[in-house]
Amino acid sequence: MIKAVFFDVGGTILDESHEFAAWADWLGVPRHTFSAVFGAVIARGLDYQETFRAFRPDFDLAVEVERRAAAGQPESFGAEDLYPDARGCLTALREQGLLVGLAGNQPAHAESTLRALDLSVDVIGTSHGWGVAKPAPAFFERVVRHGGGDASSILYVGDRPDNDARPAQEAGMPTCLIRRSPWGHILDLPEVSERCLFRIDSLDELPGLVAKHNAAGG
């Protein structure tokens, strides 16, 4: 039985297209060029920050975030950046009596920003707030703790097979991959995706799948 559902943030409930475009503008490169390099970095299995270093070899994310803030162009997101299916999915799952949480790699401002969006969630956890980032096992240990302690009853939903599904599976959680971010379309890890409980193209699908799974006794 699934008793709790935790979601990754970026690429899962939050569309990062505007933020990627803002980074391209900040670096002074055409947006389509930035996107092409981003895709190549993902396909090669590299850390996404290598995208920035392709244009600026000495790029330091923390430093550049501070520079953007000082220049009045802070890294940010709002309700308009939520995927259209996110809010309804969270609400529907909570109405099933499930514990619903968000747990993703996010910077310092993200937790308060997420809380301000008034989403139907019980828990909001970020890598900054927890002091540990995916795919570290300790991150998923925190998810399990906040989800009630039984990993087998906590579904983790994410867009990345490498950073979301695989480490969640290793922590003993059932997983769901959503195919829509660059990672979801480019990065193919069959040994991970085949072990997922669900594979979806829209969060609209998830409440029904969870309800059916639980009705069948898990």
Tell me the residue type at 129: G
Domain residue extents for the chain: 4-15+79-215, 17-70
Instruction: Reply yes or no on whether the pLDDT at 218 is more than 80.
Output: no
Spatial CA neighbour of 12 closest among 146, 183, 128: 183
Residue ranges of E strands in 127-204: 154-158, 175-178, 198-200
pLDDT digits (tens, 9 = 90+) for 8-41: 999 999 999 999 999 999 999 999 999 999 999 9
Which residue is associated with the tokens 């949480």? 101
> What is the residue-averaged pLDDT of the chain?
94
- What's the mean pLDDT in 38-64? 91
User: Which helix (H) or strand (E) is 103 found in, with range?
Assistant: strand 99-104
- Residue 54 host element (H or E): helix 50-55
| Residue labelled with tokens 């409440």 | 207
pLDDT of residue 45: 86
Answer yes or no: are the C-beta atoms of 43 and 49 closer than 8 Å: no
pLDDT band at residue 47 under the 50/70/90 scheme: confident
| Model pTM score | 0.93
Specify the pLDDT at position 62: 85
Confidence of residue 75 (pLDDT cuts 50, 70, 90): confident
pLDDT of residue 38: 93
pLDDT band at 175 (very low <50, low <70, confident <90, very high): very high
| 4-15+79-215 is classed CATH 3.40.50.1000 | yes
When pLDDT is cut at 50, 70 and 90, the band that residue 185 belongs to is confident
pLDDT of residue 204: 97
Contacts of 159 (CB under 8 A, 6+ apart): 8, 11, 12, 177, 178, 179, 180, 181, 183, 184
- In terms of DSSP H, where are the helices of 96-175? 110-116, 127-130, 137-146, 166-170
pLDDT digits (tens, 9 = 90+) for 101-129: 999 998 878 889 999 999 999 999 999 89
Which pLDDT score, from 0 to 100, does residue 184 have?
86
